[in-house]
């Protein structure tokens, strides 16, 4: 029986080192791509709220609404039947602004439940940050630029509020003033 000998070439100097450097570079590139892919992933509302609930100053209500008092106001709080004058900015968890206004009059019972609950905790001049879970927001329905099952984050300033009766009385008074002014003109 004959055995054929195959001559082996000598390993080039530094080739093993280059191999390991190449493997390390590929591993770093893969880790970088994985990190970049995860940066834009929006956490689920439940995960976001669980983490946010541990932050200093964040209060979680029985309904699941979370809020943080930025500045406490003074006096009474609005009720569900009141009309509130607020300044607000609404964002999604990725920072996308979906709505904002410096002064908007809104019926407290005419907004999403989480926003209404937050307003009823505020006092005139107060500023809160509200974290509204999907169940207290738009739920599984899309609403304009807001995707279904979105956690809503609002920075809210309660500028003032009036009861519906006060608003009606003010409107009647304005109509009387306008009507009386027109009657005096020749």
What pLDDT was estimated at residue 183? Answer: 47
Q: Quote the CA–CA distance of 166 and 50 in Å, as a whole number.
A: 41
Q: Quote the CA–CA distance of 63 and 135 in Å, as a whole number.
A: 9
- 180 vs 52, residue with greater confidence: 52
* DSSP-assigned beta bridge partners for residue 86: 104, 158
181 within some domain: no
Q: How many domains in the chain?
A: 1
Mean pLDDT of 82-96: 94
What pLDDT was estimated at residue 39? Answer: 56
35 within some domain: no
154 within some domain: yes
119 within some domain: yes
Parent domain of 131: 46-169
What pLDDT was estimated at residue 55? Answer: 94
Per residue in 119-152, pLDDT (tens digit) is 999 999 999 999 999 999 999 999 989 999 999 9
CATH number reported for the structural domain that contains residue 128 in this entry:
3.10.50.40
pLDDT at 51 over 80: yes
């Amino acid at each position: 029986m004959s055995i054929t000998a195959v001559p082996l070439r000598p390993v080039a100097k530094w080739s093993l080192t280059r191999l390991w450097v190449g493997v390390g570079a590929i591993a770093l590139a893969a880790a970088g791509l994985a990190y970049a892919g995860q940066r834009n992933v929006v956490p689920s509302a439940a995960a976001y709220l669980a983490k946010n609930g541990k932050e200093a100053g964040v209060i979680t209500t029985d309904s699941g609404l979370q809020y943080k008092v930025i500045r406490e106001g003074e006096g009474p709080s609005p009720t569900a039947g009141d009309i509130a004058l607020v300044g607000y900015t609404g964002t999604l968890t990725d920072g996308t602004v979906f709505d904002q206004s410096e002064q908007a009059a809104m019926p407290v019972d005419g907004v999403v439940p989480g926003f209404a609950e937050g307003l009823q905790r505020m006092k005139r001049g107060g500023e809160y940050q509200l974290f509204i879970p999907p169940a207290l927001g738009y739920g599984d329905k899309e609403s304009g630029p807001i995707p279904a099952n979105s956690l809503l984050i609002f920075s809210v300033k309660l500028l003032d509020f009036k009861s519906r009766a006060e608003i009606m009385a003010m409107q009647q008074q304005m109509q009387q003033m306008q009507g009386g002014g027109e009657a005096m003109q020749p």
